[in-house]
Amino acid sequence: MSVFVALIALAPDLRDRALAQVASVAGGHAARERLNPRFDTRARPRGFSPLSLGLTSATTNMELTSSSAMWLAMAILAITAALTKIALGGGRRRCLSESSDLTCKTPPPPPVVNCIALLGLLPVLFRGDVPATMQQLYAKFGSVFTVSVAGLLKATFLVGPEVSAHFFQGLESEVSHGDLFEFTVPMFGKEVGHGVDNATRIEQGRFFAEALKPARLRIHVDPIVQEVEDYFAKWGQHGTVDLKHELEQLLLLISGRCLLGKEVMGTKFDEVCNLFRDIEGGVNLMSVFFPYTPLIPSNRRRDMARERLHAIFSDIVRSRKQQQGDQEEVNDKDVLQSFIDSRYKADGRATTEAEVAGLITGVLFAAKHTSTHTSVWTGARLLTHEKFLAAAVDEQDQIVRKHGIINGRIVTDHYGFLTEMHMLHICIKETLRLHPPAPMIVRTALRQFTVRTREGHEYCVPAGHTMASPIVISNRVPYIYKDAHLYDPDRFGPRREEDKVGGKFSYTSFGGGRNSCVGENYAYMQIKAIWSHLLRNFELKLLSPFPKTDWSKFVPEPQGKVMLTSSSVTWLAMAIILAITAAVTKIARGGRRRSATDPTCKMPPPPPVVNSIALLRLLPTLFRSGLPAILHELYTKFGSVFTINLAGLLKMTFLVGPEVSAHFFQGLESEISHGNLLEFTVPMFGKEIAHGVDSATRNEQARFFVDALKPARLRIHVDPMVQEVEDYFAKWGQHGTVDLRRELEQLLLLISGRCLLGKEVMGTMFDEVCNLFRDIEGGVNLMSVFFPYTPLIPSNRRRDMARKRLHAIFSDIVRSRKQREGDNVDKDVLQSLIDSRYKADGRATTEAEVAALMICLLFAAKHTSAYTSVWTGARLLSHERFLTAAVDEQDKIAREHSNINGGGRITDDRYGSLMEMRTLHSCIKETLRLHPPVPMLVRTAHKQFTVRTREGHEYAVPAGHTIASPIVISNQVPYINKDGHLYDPDRFGPAGREEDKVGGKFSYASFGGGRTGCVGEGYAYMQIKAIWSHLLRNFELRLLSPLPKSDFTKFVPEPHGELM
């Protein structure tokens, strides 16, 4: 598909000329009507061609792959060329420049590269190296040459600034796009761009220029920076990311904020993004040749998406125009409002709703592609060139010292801050030189013209030729750019200024002349905002090799994923805070020893102590293998009970194994409790529940959860649960590659919405609630745990705003439901919590309590089930024996019951069918043993207590100690779990093993135990069974990624990276 960029530009011209020439010989106007309805005077779909009827019927059911589309297109070209040759009868063709003055002496035409010569370049072309192909032609023929495609098309290439002036500056009557971009009409609408006459298109170009001029650009910078800061605040302290995916998501959010308007960002953003992806899908080779035929699936999706987008924006435009009298309402500063306010100079009329919709779709398409890929290329280039990366970071440091930063955020004028980044600017500019968003710009010559090369040769370019300016080659000509293949931003510095060597068209990554890109400054500002923040707040390292260019795409992009590791500078800040706190505490205590126990009481000795010096020796293990490896080493050395002493500031006693864990799980609240350890959850969920209330109220609220998720109610939830699973996976198609982690996270949010949140949320507010919930999740990080209430931490502010909005949403729903109590009541968990009553005084739950309980439940349900579902899949797909056993179980249940139809859907007692899946249950249970959702439970001892180890040793755990039960270690103790590090679901089987019962009731504690066991255990198992039962019955799955490691930097450890 390396020829895609070239063919996409040449296709309409090839098609139209071929049809016109064949028709003119084969029967005049009537034949032309039969061959191409664009010549038809009757009302027919514009651009529909009977040639499209030659497509196989398979194209109505599935998309062609990029390679198959290319070969089909080339076949069509070959057939068309042959028909044209026959139609012309081998006679001499008319000169394309007949319209010129034949008496005028003109220079010769450019040298011609015919089809025979092109065949020699096919090996280079099919390797995907388009620039190398163009470079060879440039080296052989010079800066002006014509490529002849079977005599059917002549395309003249102009390389370098000396021969490009007329291309960029010629009048529309002399050089224009012609029909080259006709395929964009059904993308954006016939009301804009290449669907309207030239005068209207020029006016609309002025609308773009007005919307993005410097005065307005300053208005957009603040929201751009805000979106950047908010997005990267969710990255966490360190991890591995796909830069390409991350920046695509971020730039959609920026576009939503600055271009689309608050109405879209409020409730329609996800829908608009999905529709826009269908618009993008309309850019493929078949759609370029036949932009209007409905036989191509991507055309149908594109057309439906365009109509829906137009409807959405038309409604917004209509609404805003109706509010013109309300100054507060129409004071929007987004680009959408700018288009609404635009007026045509010719007649003074305002833009129509359809025009605004088309314009906003067009600007979103341009903004997303240019900025997304350039942002990724900029990162890939910087992270592979240490010299320029260091210079860019140093520039950020200098600007920070000058202006000041608080919590990683710019506190001065954002616009002025970004315009000072000269080094970053030229790094981006050099990236654009090597990776221009449009590698080749194409026009049609309507009149012949003459060009003069640098060597003094003159050539006459005939009228009718397609003209191409290959930016990707012009940006690398050696007489302008020294070592042009190298990444060297200094070439734009004050002593070199290579972009000015050949005049104003020496650098044309954003076009030039009449058709230069009006969004250039906007693009630079977006990319600067992104990389300024990343360079200031993260240490980044590129894991992937430097990406190749994917020339098969309309806008060439980095091929594959661009994986990098990120480490936040806040780890250093936390280390300093802890060190200072420890020192101050030591001074305050005056070095005195204190005892939390009664010295007159005879008691067992305290547990053995691991002091700070001993812990230092374990730091290499911590950074290499994570916290579980350290705990395992300490358990091996000190046994099942030991205390870690952190500089005298904190004493934490670890209890490993069931023999020493009874008091931890069963002790009274007055003896052992969470204390203030989970206080950071109060601003997450609200002060009305859990650790924001007293112990008695908290126990009552736990009972509400138990009632909502008890078996009798669980049966009610199974049907909608299974329905969501079946509906979701029905969209997967016949085959493909997916990120299992992302897919299951999305699915479990839908299940939670259906079973927990209520139909009101699922109706119109689901996307908003999900986005708010992500901001709640973002409030769980190291800084927020230490300082849960300070507004100086950005994630705290976002968390608090999200919690308030969620409380408002659920309060409105609760109020509405209580007002209609006589009607049929809903069966979801939300209704169960509304109906709950406190036993102490009989009062009902308040609106605020229900809202807080719902947030808490959603948090617990999502994390446990999402990550356990992913780990279950990773483990099953890595162990053929147990995967086969689980599939066989599904087959057996299918045979024994008449409840599974041909489509793999459970149709009768779904609850009973899921309950019979004992093998799958054991597989999930074993997954939870190795990957417990909470790897370590923590309490505070209010009274001292004694523990007795399996070996008979007794230790007194003093009051005041923090007590930890490291589930991730207890679940693998060798005297209970044979080969505890291995995945073996049979250890829970009835054949004499039942290892989860060997050490008593706390032998298996992945869902906790005793007073604080997880009430959602049955609900979690049912969700995960519903998912994997469906997948095992309906798909053959193969794991492409290696088994992921656990990311223990997260509050709930999760699989590290993607799981493909």
Token pair 């009430």: residue:
1015
Structural element, H or E, at residue 728: helix 711-729
Residue 449 and residue 97 in contact, taking contact as beta carbons nearer than 8 Å:
no
Q: Helices marked H in 897-972 — which ranges?
A: 910-915, 918-930, 967-970
Burial 373-406 (b: 16+ CB within 10 A, else e): bbbbbbbbbbbebeebbebbbebbeebbeeeebe
Residue 729 and residue 751 in contact, taking contact as beta carbons nearer than 8 Å:
no
Residue 722 and residue 906 in contact, taking contact as beta carbons nearer than 8 Å:
yes
Structural element, H or E, at residue 224: helix 214-232
The alpha carbon torsion through 20, 21, 26, 32 (nearest 10 deg) reads: 0
Question: Under the phi-then-psi rule, with left for phi > 0, alpha for psi from -120 to 50, and beta for the rest, what region is 842?
Answer: left
Neighbour-count burial of 269, counting CB atoms closer than 10 A to its CB (0-12 exposed, 13-18 middle, 19+ buried) = buried
Question: Under the phi-then-psi rule, with left for phi > 0, alpha for psi from -120 to 50, and beta for the rest, what region is 126?
Answer: alpha
Nearest to 1006 by CA among 993, 986, 992, 988: 988
Residue 958 and residue 606 in contact, taking contact as beta carbons nearer than 8 Å:
yes
Token pair 């395929």: residue:
183
The residues facing 673 across adjacent strands are 940
Residue 286 and residue 180 in contact, taking contact as beta carbons nearer than 8 Å:
no
Q: Give the separation between CA 300 and CA 294, rounded to whole angstroms.
A: 6
Q: Tell me, what amino acid is at 614?
A: A
Q: How far is CA 805 from CA 232, 773, 847, 978, in A?
A: 22, 10, 13, 49
Torsion sign (Cα): 64, 69, 72, 77:
positive
Residue 974 CB neighbour total at 10 angstroms = 9
DSSP for 362-414 reads HHHHHHHHHHHHHHHHHHHHHTT-HHHHHHHHHHHHHHHHHH-EETTEE-S-H
Q: Which two tokens stand for residue 621?
A: 């293990």
Residue 110 and residue 146 in contact, taking contact as beta carbons nearer than 8 Å:
yes
| 517 annotated to bind ligand | yes
Q: How far is CA 195 from CA 198, 200, 515, 921, in A?
A: 9, 10, 17, 59
Q: Which two tokens stand for residue 990?
A: 């009835």
Token pair 């897919």: residue:
743
Q: What are the backbone dihedrals phi and psi of residue 718, each rounded to the nearest 5 degrees, phi first?
A: -65, -45
Neighbour-count burial of 960, counting CB atoms closer than 10 A to its CB (0-12 exposed, 13-18 middle, 19+ buried) = middle
Token pair 């009537």: residue:
30
Neighbour-count burial of 349, counting CB atoms closer than 10 A to its CB (0-12 exposed, 13-18 middle, 19+ buried) = exposed
Residue 658 and residue 976 in contact, taking contact as beta carbons nearer than 8 Å:
yes
Structural element, H or E, at residue 954: strand 954-957
**Binding-site residue ranges for heme:** 517
- Show binding-site residues: 517
